[in-house]
Amino acid sequence: MLKQNYRFGKAEVDLLMQKDQLLICVEVKARSTDFFGSPEQFVSSKKIKLLVGAVDHYISSNQLDWEVRFDILAFTVKGEHWKVKHIKNAFYAFE
């Protein structure tokens, strides 16, 4: 793990991970129920824009020339147990 809770402006990237020359940016979402929707559905376009800006700043500040992937870790409580879903390439950084 490179960074946890990386902040830039109003944005916070939950996890920044590295795999070879790939920067993996992970948004973690948890819900006690999926009655109103799955956790990943709560990642808004505004949140995505903030995340992309923060990651761009991190890359520039550290002079990295890496590919970037945005993932979501979605947690939902099912009874006494947590259900986890790892969504790779959950969204892309298009402007």
23-72 per-position pLDDT tens digit: 999 999 999 887 788 899 999 999 999 999 999 999 999 999 999 999 99
3 — pLDDT class (breaks 50, 70, 90): very high
In a domain, 17, yes or no: yes
Full domain range(s) for residue 28: 1-34
In a domain, 46, yes or no: no
In a domain, 54, yes or no: no
In a domain, 82, yes or no: no
In a domain, 27, yes or no: yes
pLDDT of residue 73: 97
pLDDT of residue 13: 98
Stronger pLDDT, 80 or 49, i.e. the higher one? 49
Q: Whole-angstrom distance between the N-terminal and C-terminal Cα of the chain?
A: 27
pTM: 0.90
Distance CA 51, CA 33 (A): 25
Examine the pLDDT at 78 and tell me if it is beyond 90: no
Number of domains in the chain: 1
Question: For residue 43, which of 32, 52, 35 has the smallest C-alpha distance?
Answer: 52
pLDDT of residue 95: 52
